[in-house]
Amino acid sequence: MEFDVRERWGRQPLWARWVLGVYLMGFLVGFGSHAADLARGGIHAYAGFPQVPFQVFFVGLVVLDPLVAVMVALMRREGVWLAVAVMVVDVCANWWGNRHWLRDDPGQLAGLLPLTLFGVFVIASWLPLRRAIAKALSGPSPERDSREKGTFVSH
């Protein structure tokens, strides 16, 4: 059963639309941040992290962040799953990679706070949001039902 994107968003409860909007903003801000880092430092922008897998992951966020944003905008359940996976790895990698700087200068914590709060938000909202999207995608559509009856429903 195919739904257009506008209908998918319209079938979501208001709280879910707000949560999805926050996801979109957060991942687009993340993309902008990582794109700016790469523009300034090139492929070695994250050389300050001694762990090569972290460096590769942070460079890869230039692809992963907009991918999550597109999947969320298209109201794909996989987008919510990917959002959680990206944020878990992102938050853990940042905390682990910055742990020695945090020990030496606790003021660096302020830089990790927005990322951590967004990560907690994504993780905390994941299950209710996944359920809301699944319910909206599988349930009857008020617009489709009204078209079948020959009436018009306006939102």
pLDDT at 129 over 70: yes
Q: What is the pLDDT of residue 1?
A: 44
Phi–psi pair at 144, nearest 5 degrees: -65, -40
What are 132-155's pLDDT values in tens digits? 998 887 866 555 444 444 444 444
Q: What is the pLDDT of residue 2?
A: 53
Helix (H, G, I), strand (E, B) or coil at 154: coil
Domain tally for the chain? 1
In a domain, 150, yes or no: no
In a domain, 113, yes or no: yes
Give the domain extent around 72: 5-141
Q: What is the pLDDT of residue 3?
A: 57
pLDDT at 79 over 70: yes
Q: What is the pLDDT of residue 117?
A: 97
Whole-prediction pTM: 0.82
Q: What is the pLDDT of residue 116?
A: 95
**116 Cβ partners below 8 Å, 6+ apart?**
91, 95
In a domain, 90, yes or no: yes
pLDDT at 8 over 50: yes
Q: What is the pLDDT of residue 139?
A: 66
In a domain, 20, yes or no: yes
In a domain, 96, yes or no: yes
How far is 65 from 85, CA to CA, in rounded Å?
11
In a domain, 24, yes or no: yes
Handedness of CA 8, 89, 124, 138 (dihedral sign): positive
Higher pLDDT pick, 100 / 112: 112
What are 10-63's pLDDT values in tens digits? 899 999 999 999 999 999 999 999 999 999 999 999 998 888 999 999 999 999
